[in-house]
Structure 1
């Protein structure tokens, strides 16, 4: 945190320039100088204004399942950050089988492909290309993962997420702060979702929600909780099973992760009462090397750990890797309030009827 604050302090003089560039870019799209691709499907963008983790991927996962239950055919389209591929279109999953690994297409698309049976997942830097391919594959709703700043694809429903712990950070634009764009960019969105709301942050989240309603009237604000719901247990032989959280009770655990807010994962494990012998936090989308695994194994064994605990997003990057201990990935579940479901249902229906949200 200290390094981050120092970086922002040094970058603050450049924030106005970056803000100006982002506003100019937005205006060029609005005026039609930069063209937006319009696709024959309902397009829902799930994004954020801040840098760092706001829980976009779990919300995309939730929406894909919800839309399936509504009788629709969703597909997920992602940039595939952290993947090595340069191909314009990558079919991570065709809805029936997972086709590409995390190193090639990125950890989040692979995670979504593994957990969304029946939902195609595609990646590509120029997202209109995988989006068009998804429509060809039969999708009638496209979910743009981390799509708020990707203006090259026209969207019908724009959702902006804020993490209930961090909210808008220091409210300054990069490189002087946590914001990817000036706050006025939020006028583009249709609704807000505050994620990870709990008893400890609910009051502060409520005040922030009131501020959003006042400044961006007509745009509803919803709350969502985020909690552990089970485990994916990978034994030393590589076999995976679904287990309950009870299996962690009384076990000495060494935890690690490479996500946007690793301290949040650590704090959650501690709140569950786990006996943590140690913790290794790595950068978001970190690719695990042999040296990382050796260090992980060495530290865990030195501290008498019985097993390793990580996130599902990290688990997908551990294929073919033997860390020398059983590995448990905590399965998380996001649960928006019921009014959020009603909003999505109504908004999709209006778009399909040719109306605007």
Structure 2
């Protein structure tokens, strides 16, 4: 057995998992019965979430959906909790669609990344998501809302509930927190409309089919869509005076022996994606998810880059939202924008659910 800190926590937490599962079931029951208020909005709402803790590719998937909806003539807004963001305001406008108005420390790294990755998309956060939902409708005339990481957020009614599973990790150990990675018991999946299997590659087709078969067996009426992520290019970040310039470069122009760092939920997934893309790296250093990088951490990284004779640092877009404000001196940083292949069947499903005719 791999005695990681996570596994030890799950082992000790296992006796309490059934109680947490019961509490989550009772909470959902209270929403269904109207004891807790469910707010209804006058425009379509698409929820993107997952059953497991940690990453399943929600952020790049939300970006993909926002851009797709834009192409179909919608004016989308993305609403997020703003996890780990310092803002205490009921509504924080991260982007008005034209300008980024917040920073990753205030609004959270994921909403900031979504704002940075889109243009013409309003991004807002709030601990009670109904408030930013109403704000983007009233102030920006948005006509469709994407709720980021909202499968467990039952206070806002939605037109479509999409649940993502990463095929590499799927349901973890299939136990409910604190005995495992599940946020709710598996029965909660009955309320979703479709499953999205992410991280599908040419090398994991057999595992993908097994995951698909498991879901299809238990939830026979729900469609399952498989999507692949890829890196279309790389971005080279260099310090120019007091600011950082970013230049898009072809993947084949990435230098060898890059010092790789990441502070995401599933760092091994990032490492695997680099291998799948044929990107060779040197050292690989992991930080906690949503890591608040400091200048002291950067100074340590700079020394390690020099000691290992690395040709620069390679990191995720999410990490770069916080690293960009720090001084790396003459160390070059590279990031890899992650995107999804378009999936016509999924796109038609979404349009049909929100009442748009498809050919």
Give me the CA root mean square deviation. 1.4
Alignment pair present for 1:213 and 2:219: no
Aligned equivalents of 1:200 and 1:14: distance in 2? Answer: 37
**In structure 2, which of residues 252, 257, 260 is the aligned counterpart of residue 252 of structure 1?**
257
Q: Where do 1:100-249 residues align within 5 Å?
A: 100-136=102-138, 137-237=140-240, 238-249=244-255
Aligned equivalents of 1:347 and 1:304: distance in 2? Answer: 53
Aligned equivalents of 1:220 and 1:35: distance in 2? Answer: 29
- Tell me which stretches of 4 or more aligned residues in structure 1 moved more than 4 Å: none
Who is 2:40 aligned against? 38
Gaps of 5+ in 1: 353-357
Task: State the Cα deviation string for residues 10-45 of structure 1 (Å, max 9, x = none).
Answer: 100000100010000000000000001111110100
Are the equivalent residues in 1 in contact too, given 2:61–2:340 (CA < 8 A)?
yes
**TM-score calculated relative to the size of structure 1:** 0.95
Who is 1:341 aligned against? 347
Are the equivalent residues in 1 in contact too, given 2:171–2:182 (CA < 8 A)?
yes
Aligned equivalents of 1:311 and 1:333: distance in 2? Answer: 12
Alignment pair present for 1:299 and 2:304: yes
Are the equivalent residues in 1 in contact too, given 2:231–2:277 (CA < 8 A)?
no
Who is 2:289 aligned against? 284
Are the equivalent residues in 1 in contact too, given 2:61–2:339 (CA < 8 A)?
no
Who is 2:10 aligned against? 8
Once the two structures are overlaid, the 10-residue window that deviates more, 265-274 or 189-198, is 265-274
Aligned equivalents of 2:277 and 2:307: distance in 1? Answer: 23
Aligned equivalents of 2:302 and 2:354: distance in 1? Answer: 48
Task: State the Cα deviation string for residues 194-235 of structure 1 (Å, max 9, x = none).
Answer: 000112222122122122122112210000001111112111
Who is 1:62 aligned against? 64
SS in structure 2 at match of 1:84: coil
Matched residue count: 350
Are the equivalent residues in 2 in contact too, given 1:277–1:300 (CA < 8 A)?
no
Q: Where do 1:61-100 residues align within 5 Å?
A: 61-100=63-102
SS in structure 2 at match of 1:232: strand
Instruction: Kindly state the Cα deviation for residue 270 of structure 1 after the two structures are TM-superposed.
Output: 3.5
**TM-score calculated relative to the size of structure 2:** 0.94
**In structure 1, which of residues 5, 26, 39 is the aligned counterpart of residue 28 of structure 2?**
26
Are the equivalent residues in 2 in contact too, given 1:164–1:196 (CA < 8 A)?
yes
Instruction: Kindly state the Cα deviation for residue 288 of structure 1 after the two structures are TM-superposed.
Output: 0.3
Task: State the Cα deviation string for residues 96-153 of structure 1 (Å, max 9, x = none).
Answer: 1111010110111111111110000000110000011111111111000000001111
Aligned equivalents of 1:41 and 1:317: distance in 2? Answer: 33
Instruction: Kindly state the Cα deviation for residue 337 of structure 1 after the two structures are TM-superposed.
Output: 2.8
Gaps of 5+ in 2: none
Instruction: Kindly state the Cα deviation for residue 336 of structure 1 after the two structures are TM-superposed.
Output: 4.8
